[in-house]
Structure 1
Amino acid sequence: ALVAAAVLVSDLVPPAFVVPFLVCAAILPVFTLSMMQDGIARSFDWVNLALVPLFVVQPVMILAVMGGLKLFDGPMDAVAALVTAGVAMWLVTLAQTLLLGRRLAGAVPPGRRRHDLRHWLAVSLPVFVVDGFFLLLFYVDILVLQLYVDPREVAIYYAASKTLSLVHFISFAVGAAVAHRFSTYHVTGEREKLEGFIADAVRWTFWPTLAFGLLLIVLGKPILMLFGPGFEAGYPLIAIIMIGLIARGAVGPAERLLNMTGQQRLCAVVYAVALATNLTLCVVLIPRQGIFGAAWATAGAVVVESLLLFLVVKRRLGLHAFVWQPRRRG
């Protein structure tokens, strides 16, 4: 379908965009397979098999190939980078498929296949909505900015916000490592273990987030200067956006906890409210404050998201998903 769409609109868009789009279309199916295998592997506590192929082996392969192209004066453009990334993803995903198949053969006894499409859709659609709203939450500011400021300011804001991607990775890494444990303790009724584990997960998220955020605040200006002259103007944005990320780290992988305990619909509502908050604040603040308005809008929306996640976890599950735990009485 994506290839057909690219062919239909090829006369309406610049040619430089068509080939990269087709390459991405060829990568999408194997990316989907990789994400599915990631989830299966983590559900069996095979974290290395889940994460190492995509997040370690593939980047190393891309760096090696692109470094070789640079060394031997090969093509260094978007198409070359996308083709390299696509081939690397196909190779690591196929290797992951073989390794996962061997492990599953020893862990899962053979039996009849059974498909429960209705139940699968009931569970997966809210999770799909959560992921969609999560992505939009961190891109709606860029989309609105393009309507009000010039491309150079958008570039400065993008450089500053994406410099903080390393901080985002802490939350992702902790969530990927612990989510299946939430489900295990919830299903087996091990309440005390679940309470202790969510407290640990929050601390594993918050303190590295705080430490790394402070480090980026210290080194933010030199990092932004690497993007080119004038990009250091985005340095104050790092501190503003960090307010939201620290608030997000203070509740740890609370959204994973909700998803893994059957509360995925409430989680979707939380992210819908956060997205609406971000969009509203962007429309109000960006025309008045430009890129700083976008930063305050994003930080405010993430603070709202974090507060709502804490309240939903507390009221629906009776768990305290916050970095500072209340004192136990008696």
Structure 2
Amino acid sequence: MARGGLAGIAGAGAAGASGVLVAWLVARVLGAEGAGAFFAATAGFVLAGAVAKLGTQTGLVYWVARLRAQDRGHLLGACLRIGLTPVTAASTALALVLWFAAPTPLDWLALFLPLATLSDTMLAATRGYAMIRPTVLLERICRPAMQLAAVAGLAVAGVRSPGAYAVAWVAPYIPVALLAGYALRGAYQSGSTKRAGHRAMSALRAQFWRFTGPRALASVAQQALQRVDVLLVASLGGLAAAATYAVAGRFVVLGQFANQGITQSVQPRLAEALARNERDTANALYQTATGWLVLLTWPLYLLVSTYAPVYLGLFGPEYAAGGPVVVVLASAMLVATGCGMVDVVLSMAGRTRWNLANVTAALAAMVALDLVLIPHFGAVGAAAGLAVAVLINNIAPLVQVGRSVGLHPFGTGTMVASGLAVGCFGVLPHAVAATAGTGPAALIGALAAAILLYAYGAYRLRGVLALDALRAKR
């Protein structure tokens, strides 16, 4: 898990950096209005993809890992067909609807929807085989790098069309989808290729969709939590406000990538442990992963909250009004990451209906608050709505996982990681600001001291934080 998690984190760092640079280029080149159109179109595309995937990403990881753990490899081919065939049909149908009904530039993005959804779904299936490398290489490194190169090429050429930037952003899904299919084919052929009988396939189909059905709705709601607020700000507050909100919250994407990098390594092993009813192993996985997540993300959230004006200044003076948005979102994400990958734990324990109820409640609360707050407070109102939704979507499943499965994220590693992060990146920068001010020299000094102390503390506490596992021999 440590090796896979480290690879996922490295890939997450590359993807996060590429994503921030894409946002920076778009914000600087297109201005607030054009950037708002770009962010709204890409948000709509991602939300459409969540609908078309039908929740099969979680379903394929869960069932492929479960079938392998239970020595039922002869059903793996049937499982893949059960998951991939409906996704192909749904993504094609939705692409046709968007092509004829969606505004520009979302209608052009619709042409790429089937390949994008199949790419993500096939990579999820490879993770069910405990293969993290295809996801890291293709989804975390290759695709973001190609997106950055394409967007940078347009910027250098002096292109000013939001539609051109949106197409450049989505085009890399074509080669990635082809390579994802090749990786999944290799994973499948490495095991049993025996075809399941009709009766066995029918039974598996019923079980697969009984598990995946609620997750399909939950995945749409989950993506809506991350994307629909941008669309609401664009429609209720204007494209400039939407660009400010998207830019101010871009750091959240970095944290989400780190979360995904760890989760994608832990998820299949967690599914296998729970399938064998090994609760102690599952709890150890959950707590260790949460400690690593806190260790990685809390410094980011604490720093952007403390130095919000500096962070926003990187994108241009027209985004300076997003300071309160940064503080609100960073505070919510500190709580969310402290709960760990709690929604994944709930799903891998088979409680997908509970997961659906939690995400639906969070989405309803966010939309209701956005409709009330955005007309009066703009981007800050949207941030408040998202913060409330994030708290609901993490605290509710935290209670459910503890009571129904007996798991919780608050191990010694989690406590040590949170204390170390708060001391180095919360208390220290504020102390330096209070004594030496907030000028460039004080900022650089505070960051250097925080990073050195944090690295030293992590090294000295590497046993408690389970970082020694990174050096373990195979």
Q: TM-score, normalised by structure 1?
A: 0.84
Match of 1:98 among 153, 176, 182: 182
Query: Per residue, is there more helix in 1 or in 2?
Result: 2
- Report the alpha carbon displacement of residue 288 of structure 1 after superposing the two structures with TM: 4.9
Structure 2 regions of 5+ residues with no counterpart?
Answer: 1-92, 416-474
Which amino acid letter does the alignment assign opposite residue 37 of structure 1?
Answer: M
1:259 match: 347
User: 1:176 & 1:264 partners in 2: Cα distance?
Assistant: 18
Aligned partner of residue 230 in structure 1, secondary structure: helix
- Cα–Cα, structure 1 residues 55 and 23, in superposed 2: closer, same or farther, change >3 Å? farther
Distance 1:285 1:215, change over 3 A: same
1:102-251 to 2 correspondence within 5 Å?
A: 102-112=186-196, 114-115=201-202, 116-146=204-234, 148-251=236-339
Q: Structure 2 residue aligned with 1:31, among 116, 120, 136?
A: 116
Alpha carbons 2:221, 2:363 under 8 Å: kept = yes
Distance 1:7 1:28 in 2: 10
Contact map agreement 1:278 1:301 (CA 8 A) in 2: yes
Q: What is residue 53 of structure 1 aligned with on the other side?
A: 138
CA distance, structure 1, for counterparts of residue 232 and residue 270 of structure 2: 37
Q: Which runs of 5+ in 1 are unaligned?
A: none
> Deviation at 1:252?
0.6
1: CA distance, partners of 2:315 / 2:174: 31
Contact 1:30 1:89 in 2 (8 A): yes
What is the deviation of 1:266?
Answer: 0.5
Distance in 2 (CA, whole Å) between partners of 1:180 and 1:220 is 37
CA distance in 1, matches of 2:330, 2:217: 25
Q: CA deviation at 1:234?
A: 0.9
CA RMSD of aligned residues (A): 2.8
1:312 aligns with one of 400, 411, 429? 400
Greater relative contact order (CA < 8 Å, ≥ 6 in sequence):
2
CA deviation after TM superposition for structure 1 residue 270, in Å: 1.0
Q: Counterpart of 2:185 in structure 1: which amino acid? A: G
Q: Distance in 2 between matches of 1:38 and 1:151?
A: 34
Q: In the aligned structure 2, how far is the partner of 1:147 from the partner of 1:8?
A: 21
Greater mean alpha carbon deviation, residues 188-197 or residues 168-177: 168-177
Matches within 5 A, 1:262-281: 262-281=350-369
- Aligned-residue offset at 1:158: 2.5
Moved more, 29-38 or 81-90: 81-90
CA contact (8 A) 1:164 1:238 kept: no
Conservation of the 8 A alpha-carbon contact between 1:274 and 1:301 = yes
Shift of 1:5: 3.5
Instruction: Tell me the SS of whatever aligns to 1:269.
Output: helix
> Does the CA contact (< 8 Å) of 1:205 and 1:252 recur in 2?
yes
SS at 1:321's partner residue?
Answer: coil
SS at match of 1:310: helix
Are the structure 2 counterparts of residues 7 and 197 from structure 1 closer, same or farther at C-alpha, using a change threshold of 3 Å?
Answer: closer
Q: Match of 2:189, as an amino acid?
A: A
Matched letter for residue 119 of structure 2 = S
Following superposition, the deviation at residue 262 of structure 1 comes to 0.5
Measured in 1, the distance between the counterparts of 2:284 and 2:194 equals 36
Q: Distance in 2 between matches of 1:299 and 1:50?
A: 29
Q: Distance in 1 between matches of 2:404 and 2:395?
A: 14
In structure 2, the partner of 1:43 is: 128
Identity of aligned residues (%): 24
Conservation of the 8 A alpha-carbon contact between 1:175 and 1:253: yes
Question: CA distance change for structure 1 residues 189 and 297 in 2, over 3 Å: closer, same or farther?
Answer: same
The question of whether the paired residues in 1 share the 8 Å contact of 2:234 and 2:241 is answered with no
Structure 1 residues 81 and 41: CA distance shift in structure 2, 3 A: same
* CA apart distance, 1:75: 5.4
What is the identity, as a one-letter code, of the residue corresponding to 2:138?
P
CA pair 299-57 structure 1, distance change in 2 beyond 3 A:
same
CA drift of 1:310 comes to 0.8
What's the TM-score, normalizing by structure 2?
Answer: 0.61
